[in-house]
């Protein structure tokens, strides 16, 4: 039994280490956390296409960037030949099409600039200024490396209450494989207040400070819950395996520490009754006898 306990402790420690060491949870566009503030980028979640033409005699070259802040792009229609489509799992894609007089347009380049399935989701970066919410965020995501160039995308999200979420981003540059865009929208403003669900934004420093505290304690709580859950699951699995394989227990006996778990509901009710009577005593007498 002592060996089993040691194993259980080691296993729980390992699970806790994995849970703490793993990268931040999957990117949640509607509750993105940056610098202690929460952002709802949901209103910007859609596939966007930005096309522009350049005169390249004797042809015209059209460059189209398609992007979605919150998930992989939808697959191209069946009418698009498979070879001309963005790679599956791309969040940002670049397509270069060449037009020459009456000839059929020819796709000469197509590639992901963010995501392709084998990569992590996007990261958000911001610099908080004191207790004020950041006015700009950077949405960054890497794509594939092709011929030594690591493609990636860096979108500057600018908090702008006067703009519309239905608007479009602007391409500001493509340098050394990094596509840069700028997008002004109200959704790029931090949520403020606890109950109104945000949108108001701005506010004074104290209000935003409250929001910040909420955000971080929520994160810790969910991490603790996750660790507790996984630890308990691991305890059950390892315990049942031990009882089944080593002790050769069968039936209900495979449950580790069965006696304790049998008692557990009674212990709980006992405890609750105890607390209840203590509270009751205090209410009635004003003092409780210890």
By the criterion CB under 6 A, which residues form the site for ligand NAG?
51-53, 60, 62, 99
Under DSSP, is residue 240 helix (H, G, I), strand (E, B) or coil? helix
Closest CB to ligand NAG among residues 63, 223:
63
Peptide bond into 58 cis (omega under 30): yes
Rounded to the nearest whole angstrom, what is the least distance from the CB of residue 200 to ligand NAG in the complex? Answer: 38
Under DSSP, is residue 147 helix (H, G, I), strand (E, B) or coil? coil
Rounded to the nearest whole angstrom, what is the least distance from the CB of residue 49 to ligand NAG in the complex? Answer: 9
Q: 97: closest CA among 56, 58, 61?
A: 61
CA atoms within 13 A on the CB side of 62: 12
Rounded to the nearest whole angstrom, what is the least distance from the CB of residue 110 to ligand NAG in the complex? Answer: 16
Closest CB to ligand NAG among residues 103, 166:
103
Closest CB to ligand NAG among residues 49, 149:
49
Q: How far apart are CA 133 and CA 36, in angstroms?
A: 9
Closest CB to ligand NAG among residues 53, 288:
53
Residue 278: how many other CB atoms lie within 10 Å = 13
Rounded to the nearest whole angstrom, what is the least distance from the CB of residue 76 to ligand NAG in the complex? Answer: 17
Q: What is the Cα 233 distance to its own chain's centre?
A: 24
Q: Which residues make Cβ contacts (< 8 Å) with residue 34, sequence separation at least 6?
A: 124, 125, 126, 134, 137
Q: 135: closest CA among 185, 67, 69, 209?
A: 185
Rounded to the nearest whole angstrom, what is the least distance from the CB of residue 97 to ligand NAG in the complex? Answer: 8
Rounded to the nearest whole angstrom, what is the least distance from the CB of residue 53 to ligand NAG in the complex? Answer: 4
Closest CB to ligand NAG among residues 53, 129:
53
Rounded to the nearest whole angstrom, what is the least distance from the CB of residue 158 to ligand NAG in the complex? Answer: 24
Q: 98: closest CA among 107, 110, 85?
A: 107
Q: Tokens 């949405």: give the residue.
A: 139
Closest CB to ligand NAG among residues 29, 110:
110
Closest CB to ligand NAG among residues 54, 88:
54
Tokens of 178: 């990094």
């Amino acid at each position: 039994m002592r060996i089993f306990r040691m194993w259980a402790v080691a296993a729980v420690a390992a699970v806790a280490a994995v849970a703490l060491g793993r990268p931040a949870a999957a990117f949640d566009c509607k509750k993105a956390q940056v610098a202690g503030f929460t952002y709802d980028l949901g209103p910007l979640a859609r596939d966007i296409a930005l096309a522009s033409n350049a005169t390249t005699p004797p042809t015209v070259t059209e460059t189209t960037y398609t992007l979605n802040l919150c998930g992989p792009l939808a697959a191209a229609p069946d009418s698009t030949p498979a070879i001309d489509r963005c790679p599956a799992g791309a969040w940002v894609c670049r397509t270069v099409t060449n037009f020459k007089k009456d000839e059929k347009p020819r796709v000469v380049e197509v590639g992901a600039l963010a995501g392709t399935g084998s990569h992590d989701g996007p990261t958000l970066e911001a610099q908080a200024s004191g207790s004020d919410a950041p006015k700009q965020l950077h949405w960054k995501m890497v794509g594939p490396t092709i011929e030594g160039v690591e493609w990636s995308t860096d979108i500057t999200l600018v908090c702008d209450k006067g703009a519309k979420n239905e608007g479009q981003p602007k391409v500001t540059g493509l340098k050394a494989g990094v596509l840069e865009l700028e997008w002004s929208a109200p959704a790029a403003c931090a949520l403020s207040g606890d109950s109104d669900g945000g949108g108001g934004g701005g506010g004074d420093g104290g209000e935003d400070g409250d929001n910040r505290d909420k955000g971080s304690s929520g994160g810790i709580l969910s991490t603790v819950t996750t660790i507790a859950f996984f630890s308990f699951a691991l305890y059950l699995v390892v315990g049942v395996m031990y009882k089944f394989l080593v002790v050769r227990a069968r039936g209900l006996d495979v449950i580790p520490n069965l006696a304790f778990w049998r008692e557990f509901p009674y212990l709980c009710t006992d405890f609750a009754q105890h607390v209840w009577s203590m509270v009751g005593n205090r209410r009635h007498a004003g003092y409780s006898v210890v």
